[in-house]
Structure formats: structure tokens, C-alpha cells
């Protein structure tokens, strides 16, 4: 039996899984990233946990490799570079750290690319050659597959759709610029839109019963599902901004399909309905009716680990 | 000696060249596209001209294939689809038409992709794996190479950077939408900017001595070169719009370099100066100082034919 290990390094926890070629998780575990100021110690303890988990798997198996998804993960260098949400500063050489504990090949990429490869190997994008994945969580990430290969770009930082500017002089973004897609289409962006609309409009809304600083994406989705007009308008506005950006991206890579993942995608058809309408409106005539938009097949619980493990299967498939 | 044939199908003329692996044009010719209402007759006569040209080449040679660049050329299908500037309507199966006359493999793509492959095989992009080419002529075209391969996309219509929308509710575009990059950064867009600025400003300018309907891109470049302030402002505005679009495209494919080609590129440093400044300002911090912008190495006279012939070398290199 051939297996791969997927590790998802996050700001709080770093879960891992031992995954079969079919995407079955045979063993799993997690360590607390926050407890480790020293990345070397982190790697040592994580390796120990992984080896424990492996020893519990019954039957013969071979580990083909280790895939690591991490914020600002650089595929070409095998490093994490200046990730603001991790306890380690500067450039961390992940491959070097884990090679002290494993002899198998190690692959690194960022979270959104891992989600993309996960969709490619285990999800709805199986067999597609040209598609994109957009992750709509606290931020907006993306991954592009063209000619059957993930587009890493020259420095491994391709796929920053969340930081394409969609509104001149628009909302302040954490990146230091203004008007990035992320400030509109992330869950955080959705909440900013909600605040503005609640202030501007005098419409009745269930959302007014929730203190502004406790308002969540789920509240907006739930209210919209119950027919709350203002909540529907908030989703509509968000869908329109996202549609604009997706239509522009289509003109560059001409994908067959776009898969949405993450918190925002939980709104399902409440988001997809207006999104598809605006998307077709914004598209250049050449692409109209040709590009489908779907919610990802992966669940948020296991996507990161599956995606990281999929890196290994993807590299092996290339050979 | 191994050679390839490049054909550039244009609205007025269709020049061709017989090209060596080093990019030397050993024989060439041209027929008038406009004289042919029947594409079959067009192919027959063009094939005759090509065979004449081949018979004049001294020494032994093998023709490896035929590359055709054409407006709305579809690489996957080998067709031209609904090209507004050609005398033929609907979908024309170019490969079928030319297979009646040649047994060698035939490859089709659109003009901007041919220019991109030309830069890849014979120009400044030799050996690069991730770059983009932007053609700034009557319209704006583009081609993206990622992982060493041209991004054709699912339906072969990738690379329409000219039809990404950069201004909400902006200038009317021939595609039926508003605010496309093409309406600002093509030579036609430059002239629209000139008209608006000449009307809005009361500044003195050499450009005021030229009747509006005779104003050319060259006039603006020449006046700017002589220090005409308004002409410089027109180029500055154009550079800013283009820089915005290029910076957004970089966030998707993360290229190592961007090559500019076509009429606008003739302005040279007068365009490149402000373009590079605005580009760095607009870029996400991850990419700053990492992406160079240069004028293409190919000349407008031979780029289309070289680019078309390069399609053949590119397909052969893949094997």
C-alpha cells in the first residue's frame, strides 16, 4: 500500500494525516504551532507525532513523500517566507528541517495551492487541465492549473487573486494597498460590506439584533436563507465584486471551471445564484456559457491535510 | 537543414516565410487576403506561392511543419472562429484546408500567442519558463507562458488581457462592454486619451497643429520626445492604466519578465519610464523589484511570420 503524508501548518494548530491514493485518511494527529518559538523543535516534535501515527497503521505500506501546506509556502525553495501569522520570523527552510527526520521527498506550497492540488487529485477537478480554485476565508487565496500543471510562477508566488485590485482607491487592504478583491470577497470583506450597508440603509433586518462586533458570516448566510432582504443584498454585492474579478481572471487563463472553497462558499446557492448571473454579464463574449462555477468537493475539516498530501501524488503523477 | 514555414494571415495581406531554427528567413512571399472570398482558393494559391518559394532554396532541407498565426486562431481546433477583419465568415478549418496541399504537421494560433512563441523561440524570452508578452497595436493582445508552456486555456482563447476590465463603467469597447484595457492602452486608446486631454486642457501643445482625425501614435511619441508637456502627460496616463493591468496580471501568473510589442512599444523609454514607476507602485509587495518589463526583441516587420514559424519549433521542442 502506497501512502503520503500531508501536513497543514497553521497559526494555531498543525494537523497532519496519512493519506491513501484514494484520499482516505488512515491516521492523523496534530500539534500546537503556537507552543513552538523554535521551528527546529516544532519539526522534531511533529516528526515524532507522525511516526507514532504511522506505527498504528496495520499492514505493509510505503510512504512516497511528505506534502506541506503553509502560509507563504514557497514551492521552489521549500521554505516559508515571512508568514505574519506564524510564530517564526523571516525565512524558514522547511525541507531542511524535516529532512532531519524523514528520508522521503518533501514538497512545500502555500495553503491555496494545496487546496487547488487537493481539488485536482481528490475533488471535482480530477482529470481537468485548466481550472482555478478560489478560497474565500479570512482572506482570499487562489490556485490556477493550466495545461494540467499548477501555475507556481517564477518565484512560486503565483495565484494571489485576492490581491488583484478591483476598485481604484477602494477599501484599505492589509497588504498596504487599496481595493484588493480580498477586502470585498473574503468573510472579513463580507462583514465590512454588512457594516456599511447596515449603516447606510434604514431597512429592517434581523442582522440589526446582533452586536456589530459579534456579527459573523454565518449570521449573514442564515438571515439570507430566511429571506432577510438586507442580508441578501449584502451577499449580492459581494457576489458582484467576486464575479468581476473572476471574469477578469478568465480572460487570462481561460479555465473550464472555477471551484470555490472556504467560509464564504458555505452560503451555497445564496452566493452562487447572483455570482453566476454577474459573472456571465462581466465575461467577454468569447467565454460566455463556457465556464462553470461550483462549490469545492472537499470539506473544510480535511481539505488542508488532503491538499498537502495531494502535493505528493501530484509530483508522482508528473513522472 | 531543418526548416519551418510561418504564415501570418491578416485582413489585408498574408505574408509567409521559410525559417531556420536560428530564426533566419530563407525565403518569403505574400498574397492578398482581401482578393479571396473563398478560403479554399486562398489556401490553394498560398500553397502554390509557398512551393515556389521553397523551390528557390538551395541545398537539401526538410520542412518540419507549418505554423499559422491568424486573428481568432484556435490552437485546439485548428480553426479561425468569427474573425471580424477577415473576408470569411463563421468557422474556417485552416488545418483541413492546408492539409490538401501539405503533408507536414500544421499548427494554428492567434496573433498574440504567435508573438509570444516568437519571443520564446527567437527573442528575449529564450529559456524563460514564466513570462508574458503584451502586444500594443490597434488592439491589445497577450500571451502567457507558465511552466515553460503557452497557456492556451480550455478553449484556446486564454490571454485576452486587452479585454480585462480595468475601469468600472469606463470607455466603450468594441467587444460590447466598457472599460477594457484595450480602450486605454492600444494605439487607438492612446489617441482617445489624446482627444480627451486636448479638449480638457488649455495647455499649449504641438499636437494642436494636427487635425484630430489625422493624429497618430507616432505624432504623440515624436512630440513627447521633443518635450511637449501634453504629449508626455498622454503617455503618462496611458502608462498608468497599463501598469495597473500588468500588476494585476502578475498577481495571477507571477512572471519573471513582461515583453511589450507593437505600435505603442515604439515610444520606448518615453513609455517604459512612467510604466515601470507605476507598475512598482501597483504591485503587491511580494513581487516588487522582481519582474522586469522590456521591449520585445522582434521587429514588427518579421515578428508575425517568425512567431508563426516558431509554433513549429515550439511543438517539436516539447517532444
Query: Residue B78's Cα: distance from chain center in Å?
Result: 19
Main-chain phi, psi angles of A230, to 5 degrees: -65, -40
Contact map slice: A 133-172 vs B, CB within 8 A: 142, 144, 146-147, 149, 151-161, 163-165, 167-168
Contact residues on chain A for B291, CB-CB shorter than 8 A: 154
Q: Which of A288, A303, A244, A295 is nearest to A270 (CA)?
A: A295
Contacts by residues B16-22 (CB-CB < 8 Å, ≥ 24 positions apart) = B16/B46, B16/B49, B16/B50, B16/B53, B16/B305, B16/B308, B17/B302, B17/B305, B17/B306, B17/B309, B18/B50, B18/B53, B18/B54, B18/B57, B18/B63, B18/B309, B19/B305, B19/B306, B19/B309, B19/B310, B21/B313
For residue A319, pLDDT beyond 70: no
Q: What pLDDT score does A308 carry?
A: 96
Determine which helix (DSSP H) or strand (DSSP E) holds B294, and give its type and residue range. Answer: strand B292-295
Q: What pLDDT score does B129 carry?
A: 97
Q: What pLDDT score does A173 carry?
A: 96
pLDDT band for position A37 (50/70/90)? Answer: very high
Q: What pLDDT score does A104 carry?
A: 96
Task: Select the residue of A176, A177, A252 nearest B159 (Cβ to Cβ).
Answer: A252
Q: A318 touching B, CB under 8 A?
A: no
For residue A52, pLDDT beyond 90: yes
For residue B292, pLDDT beyond 90: yes
Q: How many residues does this entry show for chain A?
A: 319
Of A255-259, A267-271, A279-283, the one with minimum mean pLDDT is: A267-271
Mean pLDDT confidence for B148-164: 96
Q: What pLDDT score does B299 carry?
A: 85
For residue A67, pLDDT beyond 90: yes
Contact map slice: B 35-94 vs A, CB within 8 A: none
B255 CA to chain A: closest CA distance, Å? Answer: 5
Q: A237 touching B, CB under 8 A?
A: no
- Show the cell assigned to A84: 505574519
Q: Which of A123, A143, A148 is nearest to A132 (CA)?
A: A143
* Pairwise CB contact (< 8 Å): A249 & B252: yes
pLDDT, tens digit, 9 for 90 and up, residues B192-239: 999 999 999 999 999 999 998 899 999 999 999 999 999 999 999 999
Mean pLDDT confidence for A135-144: 94
Contact residues on chain A for B252, CB-CB shorter than 8 A: 142, 144, 151, 158-161, 164, 249, 252-253
Q: What pLDDT score does B319 carry?
A: 65
Contact residues on chain A for B157, CB-CB shorter than 8 A: 254, 286-287
Contact residues on chain B for A248, CB-CB shorter than 8 A: 164-165, 248
Q: What pLDDT score does A83 carry?
A: 84
* Structural domains present in chain B: 2-120+300-318 (3.30.420.40), 128-295 (3.30.420.40)
Main-chain phi, psi angles of B183, to 5 degrees: -75, -5
pLDDT, tens digit, 9 for 90 and up, residues A70-129: 989 999 999 998 888 899 989 999 999 999 999 999 999 999 999 999 999 999 999 999
pLDDT, averaged across chain B: 95
* Pairwise CB contact (< 8 Å): A252 & B146: no
pLDDT, averaged across chain A: 95
What ipTM was predicted for this assembly?
0.94
Asked if residue A117 lies in contact with residue A23, where contact means CB atoms within 8 angstroms, the answer is: no
Smallest CA–CA distance from B156 into chain A, residue: A254
Amino acid at each position: 500500500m502506497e501512502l503520503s503524508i500531508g501536513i497543514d501548518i497553521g497559526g494555531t494548530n498543525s494537523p497532519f494525516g496519512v493519506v491513501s491514493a484514494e484520499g482516505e485518511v488512515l491516521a492523523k494527529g496534530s500539534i500546537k504551532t503556537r507552543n513552538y518559538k523554535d521551528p527546529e523543535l516544532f519539526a522534531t516534535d511533529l516528526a515524532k507525532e507522525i511516526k507514532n501515527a504511522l506505527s498504528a497503521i496495520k499492514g505493509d505500506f510505503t510512504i512516497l513523500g511528505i506534502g506541506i501546506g503553509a502560509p507563504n509556502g514557497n514551492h521552489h525553495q521549500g521554505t516559508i517566507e515571512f508568514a505574519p501569522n506564524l510564530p517564526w520570523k523571516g525565512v524558514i527552510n522547511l525541507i531542511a528541517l524535516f529532512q532531519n527526520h524523514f528520508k522521503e521527498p518533501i514538497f512545500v506550497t502555500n495553503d491555496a495551492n494545496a487546496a487547488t492540488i487537493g481539488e485536482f487529485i481528490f475533488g471535482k477537478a480530477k482529470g481537468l487541465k485548466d481550472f482555478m480554485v478560489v478560497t474565500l476565508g479570512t482572506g482570499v487565496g487562489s490556485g490556477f492549473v493550466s495545461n494540467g500543471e499548477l501555475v507556481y510562477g517564477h518565484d512560486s508566488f503565483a495565484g494571489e487573486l485576492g490581491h488583484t485590485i478591483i476598485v481604484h482607491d477602494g477599501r484599505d487592504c492589509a497588504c498596504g494597498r487599496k481595493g484588493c478583491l480580498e477586502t470585498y470577497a473574503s468573510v472579513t470583506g463580507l462583514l465590512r460590506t454588512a457594516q456599511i450597508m447596515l449603516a447606510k440603509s434604514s431597512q429592517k433586518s434581523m442582522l440589526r439584533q446582533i452586536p456589530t462586533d459579534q456579527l459573523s458570516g454565518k449570521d449573514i448566510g442564515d438571515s439570507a436563507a430566511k429571506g432577510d432582504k438586507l442580508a441578501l443584498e449584502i451577499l449580492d454585492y459581494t457576489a458582484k465584486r467576486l464575479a468581476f474579478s473572476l471574469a477578469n481572471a478568465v480572460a487570462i487563463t481561460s479555465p473550464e471551471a472555477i471551484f470555490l472553497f472556504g467560509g464564504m462558499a458555505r452560503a451555497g446557492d445564496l452566493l452562487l445564484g447572483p455570482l453566476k448571473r454577474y459573472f456571465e454579464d462581466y465575461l467577454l463574449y468569447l467565454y460566455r456559457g463556457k465556464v462553470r462555477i461550483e462549490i469545492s468537493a472537499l470539506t473544510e475539516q480535511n481539505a488542508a491535510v488532503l491538499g498537502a498530501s495531494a502535493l505528493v501524488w501530484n509530483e508522482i503523477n508528473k513522472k
